């Protein structure tokens, strides 16, 4: 019958389109995975080099005294230097993180609305290109032994001016939102998180062994090659996800109309306190990103001081902790959330409550067991960013999602501007007496985030059932 033939053709076309979309999505995960592996490898080598350069060039100790810092295996030879070297290194890292975040924070106001016209792929490709150039400069920094710790800051400029990690993630999340149905949004975003997590695990596990076998500089060279490969793969194999996007548009990036468009769409009046929900989620994400940027550069130093760990000890812990989070991501979205019928916000709050327990254990840590037990208890903590973006994708019109993501990215981008100064100041003041004070500060931030998300959940429970299509936006 003619009707049956039409239905068959339509089903076949839809199946082909969906298959094509899935294959495109997988390539974006591979690009992100390669980039994260390179970043994790770089982090371990740079930590060693920075400690060594601080010891020699900034504090004027002899090369013989400072050489143990270049090894991932900690010994007692540098115990008399630890506090002084760590305090100076935190100052360098603070300045580096602030300068690294300035341009991405500025660009975040423009790129969300810009990508609605010119596509998502440029956001991803530009950030990975900047990372590739930065990684090459790090190789040069590692080779020139006469350069002090402050020269390290120069190497981050290319990555910063091309958008940094936050713009990269904004592009990736918008990309996935374009090609994924609302029913599968949580799972698809979990796959993005899985690519990030698995890349971090592999990079962390391999880093200390590669440093021992090939040295810090060759490890930086390997990371640079991975970055270049990730950029080439993104440039030539990833297809644009936005139908009807316009090629080029680089000169229109800083058009103030994009900023006006983002704020207008994000802050316009919406039913069911929708505007307030967006603001609260953005503020909560700012605090959660603040914790990440505050603790990330300090946790290795904390374990050296509190538990006398070596870099190898820490990278093993980091890999195990990240693996637990990786497993928690899949179990959380595919099993626990569905089994308990928890919404995205409720599950996020549950995960954050376990974070408080983790931080209390780390404050009290006098043995390695506390660190691992804390990571195990907070197995679902890594889902917060994924679940909050999933909630936005499901709750608000698809036409507005990229602009709301851009607003959240802008909030997140301000975290590394101010927070490292706060965390590093607290750590420098308490490193000799209570190095775990940084986790007390984190508990305060987590508690504030839980309260904000509690209001979002309250507004959502009270919400009337409104169905948006992909083109219309509510103005009521």
Q: pLDDT of 46-68, one tens digit each?
A: 888 998 899 989 888 888 888 88
Q: Averaged over 163-185, what is the pLDDT? A: 79
Nearest to 136 by CA among 220, 70, 45: 220
Residue ranges making up the domain that contains 457 = 7-238+251-462
Q: Is residue 406 part of a domain?
A: yes
28: domain CATH number is 1.20.1250.20
At what angle are helices 398-413 and 415-430 packed, to 10 degrees?
30
Nearest to 377 by CA among 325, 317, 310, 450: 325
CA angle 137, 143, 146 (to 5 degrees): 105
* CB atoms near residue 119 (< 10 Å): 25
Q: Is residue 142 part of a domain?
A: yes
Is the pLDDT at 76 greater than 70, yes or no? no
Q: Is residue 114 part of a domain?
A: yes
Is the pLDDT at 43 greater than 80, yes or no? yes
Is the pLDDT at 31 greater than 70, yes or no? yes
Alpha carbon distances (Å) from 343 to 362, 404, 405? 29, 20, 19
SS3 assignment, position 245: coil
Is the pLDDT at 157 greater than 70, yes or no? yes
Q: Is residue 85 part of a domain?
A: yes
The token pair that represents 37 in the structure block? 């592996």
The answer to whether the predicted template modeling score (pTM) of the entire model surpasses 0.85 is: no
Confidence (pLDDT) at 22? 47
Confidence band, pLDDT 50/70/90 cuts, at residue 446: very high
Is the pLDDT at 99 greater than 70, yes or no? yes
Confidence band, pLDDT 50/70/90 cuts, at residue 182: low
Domain count for the chain: 1
Q: pLDDT of 252-289, one tens digit each?
A: 877 778 778 788 878 888 888 888 999 999 999 999 98
Confidence (pLDDT) at 149? 92
Nearest to 126 by CA among 140, 152, 107: 107
Q: Averaged over 156-167, what is the pLDDT? A: 88
Is the pLDDT at 9 greater than 60, yes or no? no
Confidence (pLDDT) at 227? 94
Confidence (pLDDT) at 222? 94
Contact 415, 100 (CB under 8 A): no
**DSSP code of 238?**
P
Q: Averaged over 114-130, what is the pLDDT? A: 88
Q: Is residue 310 part of a domain?
A: yes
Among 15-19, 181-185, 245-249, 314-318, whose mean pLDDT is lowest? 15-19
Confidence (pLDDT) at 25? 45
Is the pLDDT at 320 greater than 50, yes or no? yes
Contact 157, 131 (CB under 8 A): no
Q: Is residue 476 part of a domain?
A: no
Contact 55, 65 (CB under 8 A): yes
Confidence band, pLDDT 50/70/90 cuts, at residue 310: confident
Contact 287, 449 (CB under 8 A): yes
Q: Averaged over 447-458, what is the pLDDT? A: 94
């Amino acid at each position: 019958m003619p009707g049956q033939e039409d239905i068959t053709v339509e089903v076949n076309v839809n199946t082909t389109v969906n298959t094509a979309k899935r294959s495109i999505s997988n390539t974006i995960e591979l690009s992100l995975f390669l980039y994260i592996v390179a970043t994790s490898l770089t982090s371990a080598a740079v930590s060693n080099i920075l400690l060594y350069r601080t010891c020699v060039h900034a504090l004027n100790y002899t090369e013989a005294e400072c050489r143990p810092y270049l090894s991932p295996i900690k010994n007692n030879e540098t115990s008399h230097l630890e506090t002084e070297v760590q305090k100076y290194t935190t100052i360098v890292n603070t300045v580096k993180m602030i300068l690294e975040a300035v341009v991405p924070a500025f660009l975040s106001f423009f790129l969300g609305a810009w990508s609605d016209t010119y596509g998502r792929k440029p956001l991803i490709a530009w950030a990975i290109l900047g990372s590739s150039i930065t990684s090459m400069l790090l190789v040069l920094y590692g080779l020139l032994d006469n350069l002090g710790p402050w020269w390290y800051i120069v190497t981050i400029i290319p990555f910063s001016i091309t958008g940094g990690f936050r713009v990269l993630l904004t592009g990736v999340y918008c990309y996935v939102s374009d090609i994924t149905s609302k029913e599968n949004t949580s799972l698809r975003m979990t796959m993005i998180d899985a690519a990030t997590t698995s890349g971090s695990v592999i990079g962390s596990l391999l880093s200390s062994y590669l440093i021992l076998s090939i040295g810090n500089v060759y490890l930086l060279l390997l990371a640079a090659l991975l970055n270049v490969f990730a950029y080439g793969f993104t440039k030539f194999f990833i297809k644009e996800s936005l139908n009807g996007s316009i090629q080029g548009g680089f000169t229109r990036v800083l058009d103030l109309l994009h900023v006006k468009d983002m704020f207008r769409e994000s802050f316009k009046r919406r039913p069911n306190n929708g505007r307030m929900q967006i603001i609260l989620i953005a503020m909560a994400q700012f605090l959660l990103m603040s914790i990440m940027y505050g603790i990330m550069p300090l946790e290795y130093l904390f374990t050296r001081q509190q538990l006398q760990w070596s870099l190898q000890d820490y990278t093993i812990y980091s890999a195990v902790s990240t693996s637990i989070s990786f497993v928690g991501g899949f179990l959380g979205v595919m099993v626990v959330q569905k089994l308990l019928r928890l919404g995205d916000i409720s599950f996020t709050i549950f995960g954050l409550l376990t974070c408080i327990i983790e931080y209390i254990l780390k404050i009290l840590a006098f043995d390695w067991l506390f660190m691992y037990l804390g990571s195990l208890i907070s197995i679902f903590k890594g889902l917060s960013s994924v679940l909050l973006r999933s909630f936005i994708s499901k709750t608000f019109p698809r036409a507005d999602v990229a602009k709301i993501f851009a607003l959240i990215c802008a909030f997140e981008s301000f975290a590394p501007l101010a927070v490292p100064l706060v965390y590093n100041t607290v750590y420098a003041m308490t490193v000799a007496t209570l190095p775990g004070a940084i986790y007390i500060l984190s508990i305060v931030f987590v508690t504030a985030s839980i309260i904000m998300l509690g209001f979002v959940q309250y507004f959502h429970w009270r919400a009337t059932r409104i169905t948006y299509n992909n083109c219309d936006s509510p103005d009521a």
